[in-house]
Structure 1
């Protein structure tokens, strides 16, 4: 049976995406949180990320004026706060207070706080703003990353995938689920199976002698 497909006009259908809470602040004002799904990694050395924000959002002017923000990864426990911070405006409410979140002191930033309940806080300094259309993209350098020690195992490895990370796809939040493979598994050579060692005459004699006094 022939597979049928529909052709739609151009639109944003690149899913799933990380649903992150971006925290920011200005001197003398309450800090704010904006939920962003349009966020991504753009360079590994130097470490750089991007977020895209509508200019009419309350956080837009704060980030543009201060040139800094924190990307806070979200989890299953934080999904309600994640949604709330995306549909309520910081002009009207104190999102930290309403969602019982704790603003933390960033190591490398002056104004933007971290969200203590998040397992990963990525401190960012804006390097460029691209005015693209409905959204403006903030390109930013990562100045430092803070991780929750509760997810560091006995070998010192950070178990990020054990934190209950959340993704956003076509209007719905999802918790990451079944592991399908690790990076490079499709070309990784399989380890040869160990074969049973053939017994020699010497082995047979020694085994016969076992248990005799």
Structure 2
């Protein structure tokens, strides 16, 4: 029997993404977000949710652009720090030892050391209450050649992205690969078709 927990944000897991933006005078900034996900394939879009009080919120609103940088487990301390410190008072790139790279496509920096980066132009803004959802159209995805498979897509195991859990406020690494999407469930399709013969 299930126990009611009330209205809580306990969906699992959440991505750990570092959002790159430019502030006043072109100062690069980064912020960790966990409220985000893919929201459309055509055009390719992702959504992030940011509190209005954050510098990143102001930067995206002004510049109409942001990058999503996917940290690997090797960048855990930098990822956590980017969510602790405020870009209003410190240069988070410098403290974390990361390199801001100017995007040629959008008015936002990306992180040179991260293996996977998405460059996004702001498409829609949705006020939700405590957070604003920014929907960004992905103009380009950049990945280090070392993490690409033969099909020119990044391999999850090579990127080794971080995930988080809102329920216990902890970071996690990915586990084992369990199988191919749109393939494992075919056994149930075959079973159902067998019953209908």
- Taking structure 2 as the reference length, the TM-score comes to 0.88
**What is the aligned partner in structure 1 of residue 58 from structure 2?**
61
Find 1:176's aligned residue among 155, 174, 177: 174
- Residue 151 to residue 30, structure 1, CA distance change in 2 (3 Å): same
8 Å Cα contact 1:72-1:118 kept in structure 2: yes
Tell me by how many angstroms 1:159 deviates. Answer: 2.4
C-alpha deviation, 1:6, in angstroms: 2.0
Please state how far the C-alpha of 1:30 moved relative to its aligned partner.
1.9
Give the distance between the partners of 2:130 and 2:114, measured in 1 at CA: 29
Candidates 159, 163, 175, aligned match of 1:163: 159
Q: How many residues align?
A: 185
SS in structure 2 opposite 1:6? coil
Greater helix share, structure number:
2
Dislocated runs of 4+, deviation >6 Å: none
- Residue 86 of structure 1 aligns to a residue whose secondary structure is helix
- Could you say what the CA RMSD is over the residues aligned between the two structures, in angstroms? 1.7
Equivalent residue for 1:136, pick from 109, 132, 135 = 132
Give the alignment of 1:3-152 within 5 angstroms. 4-26=1-23, 28-110=25-107, 112-152=108-148
Q: Specify whether residues 153 and 181 from structure 1 end up closer, same or farther in structure 2 by C-alpha distance, changes over 3 A only.
A: closer
Contact 2:70/2:116 (<8 A) preserved: yes
1:187 aligns with one of 182, 185, 188: 185
The structure that has the greater radius of gyration is 1
- How far residue 160 of structure 1 moved from its aligned partner, in angstroms, is 3.3
The CA deviation at 1:157 is: 5.4
Distance 1:62 1:141 in 2: 17
CA contact (8 A) 1:107 1:144 kept: no
Question: In 2, distance between residues paired with 1:93 and 1:129?
Answer: 27
Cα 1:155–1:70 shift into 2, 3 Å: closer
- Could you tell me the TM-score, scaled by structure 1's length? 0.81
